[in-house]
Every structure is written in C-alpha cells, then in structure tokens.
Structure 1
Amino acid sequence: MDLVRHLRFFVAVAEEGHFGDAAARLEMTQPPVSQGLRRLEKELGVQLIRRTSRGAELTDAGRDLLPRARLLIDDAARFLGEARHLHDGSEVLRWGAVPLAGAAAIAAVAQRLGDVSSGQEMLSATAVSLVEQVSAGTLDLAIVDAPCVTGTLTTGPIVVFRRHVVVPANHPVTTTVRPRLRQLAGLDLCHQSRAANPPAHDQLIDRLRESGLDPRILPISSSEHLVAAVAGSGAFGLTADAQRLASLDSISCLPIGRDATALRLRVVYRESALGEVADVATAALWKISKATG
C-alpha cells in the first residue's frame, strides 16, 4: 500500500468534511478516495472517519492521528523536492499557477522568469495544491488567486485583473445597452469547485449575490471546459483571456460587473532567497494586468 498517497486521502476528507469535496480537491472521483480510506483504516486497524448523512467527521483516533499524517505528507514532499533539486540542479526554477490566471498572464510570467533562470518547469494546479507544494519545497513559487490560506509562506502584493463575463452568443444580455450581472439570473456559473480555493470562491459568490445573482456552480477545470459549458449548456463564466476567446462565434465576452468579478492574483514562496525572483513574476503580472485591463 502507498501509505503517503492514502494518508493524503485521509487528510483531505478530514479537512473538507465531505468525500465529494475531498475528491475535488485531490482532482479525483469520489469512489477511489472512499475505497482508499477504507483500505488505510483496515491497514491501521482503526476507524479514522465516521460516515454521516452530512458527510464525514473525525473519530477520536482520526483526530489523534491527523497531525502526524500531515507531518508525514509534508516530510515526503520535502524529501521528493530535495531529491529532484539534487538530480536536476538548483538552477531549474519550478513554479506553478492557477488556471484562472489565463494564458496571457502565464505566458508573460514565463517569459520574464526565463530571463532570471537557466531553466524552468511550470505546473498548472489549484491554489490549495500549489500552496501545499510550495510549502513542501517541490515548487519554488506559485501564482495563486486571493484570498487564499497561505500558512507561513511569504506573499507578494495582490495584482487585480479585470475579467470578462462569458455568455452564450444568443443570450439577451448581449444586445442590452447597459448590461448588468442580474440579467444572468437563471444561468449556472462555470467555475472551479470551492475545494480549489474556498476563501476566493466564497468571496466571489458573495460579490455576485450583492449584484443580484445567486448562481448554481457548474465545476470546470480549464478554459476549454468553460467554453464548451457556456456554448452548450446555457451557462456563463468568467475569463481573463477575453481577447483569445473573442473570435469564437458561439460565445460573447462582456465587460460587466468588473469589480464583482475581478480576479486577484499574488505570488507565494517559501525561501527568502527567492524574493527577487518573486518580484520579477509580480512585475510581469502588473504589466499584463494593465495591458488587458
């Protein structure tokens, strides 16, 4: 049994309090998570999670073992990160970004980081996953959406990106002289799941409600997924890449609800020696935000 992998299942379920949310956080389906947790419990000889009608809750044994499980996962990640650095050389910069950042911002950051490193490896993942990997040392820095729980990581300043609302091309809001967010009532919102970054997700929903919307969330994982859902399912979404999507006939990108739908990005990192590199990434974000805003 892969102990570290199964401990990740346990920690995710314990922290989310729900098997479905834990699976979304791990970017898996629910059955393997549930089966993996049962296998771990059988291997340990104790019940860690109590299944309830509301989701999942820790048993006394689970509560006692959770801190140790977190430490083991962190130690394994640090060990892997240090081994990779020894194998590949410390000059290779490993960084990540949330898909929400958009292709333009990610490309701008990659270009600038190429000027200060002899090589780089980039990973696209959720904010929760990126923070975990930077904390463990498997990534040098990451661009995450804010607000975000970052623990002891150092955080750069927030850079605000104005996002366009993506709607079906035939929706009535596209012909309105002064469109408003409330006109999208009844449409699902294509967006990453709450497990990807709970604080940022909750803030967005609160702002949409203040604008007269309370949409059901249709989880998506990529820009292509968003386009397909909007064009085919009668939903709406948000994008920082409106220029790239503007040529598509099946959807329209509208600059409405700019304050409510704005994307806030920041760089996070662990090692103080990476402060100057993080500043380079932040500067690239500032430049592209002004160019596209």
Structure 2
Amino acid sequence: MDLVRHLRFFVAVAEEGHFGDAAARLEMTQPPVSQGLRRLERELGVQLIRRTSRGAELTDAGRGLLPRARLLIDDAARFLGEARRLHEGSEVLRWGAVPLAGSAAVAAVAQRLGDVSSGQEMVSAAAVSLIEQVSAGTLDLAIVDAPCVTGTLTTGPVVVFRRHVVVPARHPVTTAARPRLRHLAGLDFCHPPRAANPPAHDQLIDRLRESGLDPRILAVSSSEHLVAAVAGGGAVGLTVDPERLASLDGVRCLPIGRDATALRLRVVYRESALAEVADVSTAALWKISKAAG
C-alpha cells in the first residue's frame, strides 16, 4: 500500500469534512477516496473517519493520528523535492499559479522569473493544492487567489485584477443601457469548486449577493468548460482575459460589477531567501493589473 498517498486521502477528508469536497480537492472522483480511506483503516486496524449523513467526522483515533499524518506527508514531499534538486543539480525555480490568474499574468510572471533564474518549472493548480506544495517545499512560490488560508507561509501584497463577466451572446443584458449583475438572475454561475479555495469562494459569492445576484454555482475545471456552458445560453462566468474570448461565437464579455467581481492575487513563499524573487513576481502582477485597467 502506498502509505503517503492513502494518508493524503485521510487528511483531505478530515480537513474538508466531506468525501465529495475531499475528492474535488484531490482532483479525483469520490469512490477511490472512500475506498482508499477504508483500506488505510484496515491496514492500521483503527477507524479514522466516522461516516455521517452530513459528511465525515474524525473519530478519537483519527483526531490523534491527524497531526502525525500531516507531518509524514510534508516530510515525504520535502524528501522528493530535495531528491529532485540533487538529481538535476540546477537552480530551477519551481512555481505555481491558480488557473484564475489568467494567461497574461502567468506569462508576465514567467518572463520576469526568467531574468532571475537559470530555469523554471510552472504548475497550474487550485490554491489549496499550491499552498500545500509550497509548505512542503516542492514549490518555491505560488500565486494564489485571496483570501486564502496560508498557514506559516510568507505572503506578498494583494494585487487586484478587474474581471469581465462572460455572458451568452443573445442575453438581453448585452444590449442593456446600464447592465447590472442582477440582470443575470436565473443563469448558473461558472466557477471552480469551493474546495479549490473556500475563503475566496465564499467572499465572492457574498459580494455577488450584495450586488443583487444570488447565483447557483456550476463547478467548472477550465476556461473551455466555462465558455461551453456560457455559449450554451444557461450560464455566466468571469474572466481576466476578455481579449481572448472577444472573437468567440456565443459569448460576450461585459465590465459589470467591477468591485464585486474583482480577483485578488498574492504571492506566497516559505523560504526568506526567496523574498526578492517573490517581489519580482508581485511587480509583474502589478504591471499587468494596471495595464488591464
């Protein structure tokens, strides 16, 4: 049995309190997570999670073993990270960004990092996953949406990006004299699942409701998924790259609800030696945010 992998299942379910949310966080379907946890419990001879009608609760044994499970996962990640560095023998900078950041911001950061490192590797993942990887040492830094639970990581300043609302091309809001978010009532709202970053997700929904839109969430995993849902006429979404979508049939990008829909990004890192690199990344984000208006 791959102990570390199965411990990840246990920690995800324990922290999310729900098998479905844990599976979304791990980017898996629910059955393998549930089956993997049962296998771990059989191997250990103790019940870690109590299944309830509301989700999942820690047993006394699970509560006692959870801190140790987290340590083992972190140690394994650090071990692999150090082994990779020794094998490659290079100063490759490893960083990540949430998909919400958009192509313009990612390209700008990559260009600036190319000036301060001999090489780089970039991954795209949810904020929760990126935080875990930076904490474990497998990533040097990450760009995440704020607010976000960052633990002991060092965080840079928040950079605010304006987002456009992506709407169906034939929706009446596209011809309204003064379009408002409340005009989109009845359409699903495309957004990554809450498990990707619960604090930022909840804050966005609260701001939309304050603006008169109480959306039903349609979880999407990519910009292509969002475009398909919106072009079909039954959903809306948000983008920081309206220029990329401007030529597509079936969708329109409108600057509605600027404050309510804004995206807030920040750089997080663990080692103080990376402060200068983090500042360079933040400067690249600022430049793109200003250029986008």
User: Which runs of no fewer than 5 residues in structure 1 stay unpaired?
Assistant: none
Indicate yes or no: 2:73 matched with 1:73. Answer: yes
Q: Does 226-235 or 75-84 show the bigger shift?
A: 226-235
TM-score (norm 1): 0.99
Partner of 1:157: 157
Q: Distance in 2 between matches of 1:94 and 1:42?
A: 37
Partner of 2:62: 62
Provide the secondary structure at the position in 1 that maps to 2:232.
helix
Secondary structure at the aligned position of 1:100 is classed as helix
Inter-partner Cα distance in structure 2 for 1:43 and 1:232: 48
Aligned to 1:214: 214
Distance 2:229 2:187 in 1: 11
Q: Aligned-pair RMSD on alpha carbons?
A: 0.8
Cα distance in structure 2, aligned partners of 1:89 and 1:206: 47
Residues in 2 aligned to 1:41 and 1:60: alpha-carbon distance in whole angstroms: 13
Alignment correspondent of 1:242? 242
The residue number in structure 1 matching 2:229 is 229
Q: Deviations over 1:179-220 (max 9, x none)?
A: 000011111110001100000000000000101111111111
- SS of the equivalent of 1:253 reads strand
Equivalent residue, structure 2, for 1:119: 119
- Give the match for residue 204 of structure 1: 204
AA matched with 2:268: V
Amino acid in structure 1 at the alignment position of 2:48: L
2:157 partner amino acid: P
Q: Counterpart of 1:167?
A: 167
> Which whole-Å CA distance do the structure 2 matches of 1:209 and 1:167 have between them?
18
Q: Which moved more, 1:88-97 or 1:168-177?
A: 88-97
Between stretches 193-202 and 214-223, larger displacement belongs to 214-223
Map 1:1-293 → 2, pairs under 5 A: 1-232=1-232, 234-293=234-293
Q: Secondary structure at the match of 1:34?
A: helix
The amino acid across from 2:284 in the alignment is A
Partner of 2:221, secondary structure, is: coil
Deviation, structure 1 residue 90: 4.4
User: What is the identity, as a one-letter code, of the residue corresponding to 1:156?
Assistant: G
Write the distance in 1 (CA, Å) between the matches of 2:174 and 2:288: 26
- Provide the C-alpha distance between the structure 1 equivalents of 2:185 and 2:87, rounded to a whole number of angstroms: 53
Q: Could you report, residue by residue, the CA deviation over 1:196-253 in whole angstroms, capped at 9, with x for unpaired residues?
A: 0000000000000101111111111111111111112510000001111111121000
Q: 5+ residue gaps in structure 2?
A: none
Q: Deviations over 1:145-166 (max 9, x none)?
A: 0000001111111000000000
Whichever residue aligns with residue 252 of structure 1, its letter is R
How far apart are the structure 1 equivalents of 2:290 and 2:72?
A: 43
CA contact (8 A) 2:231 2:249 kept: no
Amino acid at match of 1:174: T
Q: Distance in 2 between matches of 1:232 and 1:84?
A: 45
TM-score of the superposition, structure 2-length normalised? 0.99
Q: 1:103-160 CA distances to partner (integer Å, 9 max, x unpaired)?
A: 1110111011111111000000000000000010000000000000001111111000
Aligned residues: 293
Q: 1:44-80 CA deviation, whole Å, 9 max, x = no partner? A: 1111111111111011111111111111111111111
Q: Which runs of 4+ in 1 moved over 6 A?
A: none
Inter-partner Cα distance in structure 1 for 2:74 and 2:231 = 41
Task: Work out the CA distance in 2 between the residues paired with 1:16 and 1:72.
Answer: 19
Greater shift in the superposed pair: 228-237 or 63-72: 228-237
Give the distance between the partners of 1:214 and 1:11, measured in 2 at CA. Answer: 32
Matches of 1:32 and 1:134, distance apart in 2: 26
